[in-house]
A and B are shown apart, each in its own frame.
Chain A
């Protein structure tokens, strides 16, 4: 069965997100050990966000990035799957999608380690430009098919 190649970067980003989740889990567990937190003494209803300002910031950075990966990438999934369904998931869109995933992986590595905002911002912007181009391609195609644009 043939499939649209753009689905590969989509699955790659899902896989990467699950790896960041594991990274978060490992650093959080070691932070719990250091702070003397165990399942026996966590108050009911506690959340990861309650650790802000108490846990080592670099342990929280993994969690910030994991949450970040559930924000803009949801649009990426929707647009990439839409492009696949429209038969537009190869060529330039395929490479834009890999660009998006590559920049998001670098963005994770920066945020989870040194977390220098200037680098993070640059990588985030580059990823967003890839997503903008993909969205523009899908949008222009729809406008063209509706007869609103003619080129």
Chain B
């Protein structure tokens, strides 16, 4: 069975999110042990660890959560582009650009976390998603016309 190449970047971003999951826990568990927070048997609710753990540790978690926000739109758009059989090189290019920029965004937020860089990379990624959404709308409108 042949499939649309645009599924490649989709898989890459899902995989990257799972890498961030590992990075988050690899830094979080030792930090929790140092802070004595592993002894909590009962959950304290969202955001509690922000007040207990060092900021650099939480930055990985902030980014992991971030990857469950806008990328969910990317998954919806890319899945439908694949269902429509889009094999266009420009589509593929923008999808890979989105994934590349989101990886860069993760690396920045998880390390130096300078807001200026993060914002620029986020805006560029959002621009790619805008263009993919417009492309998909055009395909759907053209097909139904």
Contact = CB atoms under 8 A, between A and B. Distances in A.
A8 B116 contact: no
Interface string B50-78: 00000110010010000011101101110
Given A7-B140, A18-B130, A70-B69, A81 B80 contact: yes
Contacts of B140: 3, 7-8, 11
Chain A, interface SS category: helix
Interface in B128-145: 129-130, 133, 136-137, 140, 143-144
Given A18-B129, A47-B62, A81 B143 contact: no
Interface string A73-97: 1100100010011000000000000
A39 interface: yes
A15 interface: yes
B27 interface: no
B72 A70 contact: yes
A140 interface: no
Contacts of A17: 73
Contacts of A8: 140, 144
Interface stretch (B7-15, B32-40, B95-103, B107-115): B107-115
Given A8-B140, A44-B115, A70 B83 contact: no
A18 B68 CA distance: 15
Contacts of B133: 11, 14-15, 18
Contacts of A21: 70, 126
Interface in A33-47: 39, 42-47
A44 B113 contact: yes
B83 A84 contact: yes
Interface in A1-55: 1-3, 5, 7-8, 10-11, 14-15, 17-18, 21, 39, 42-47
A67 interface: yes
A91 B56 CA distance: 51
Interface of A: 1-3, 5, 7-8, 10-11, 14-15, 17-18, 21, 39, 42-47, 67, 70, 73-74, 77, 81, 84-85
Interface of B: 55-56, 59, 62, 68-70, 72-73, 75-77, 79-80, 83-85, 112-116, 119, 126, 129-130, 133, 136-137, 140, 143-144
Given A1-B143, A18-B130, A21-B70, 4 more contacts: A1-B85, A15-B137, A18-B133, A70-B73
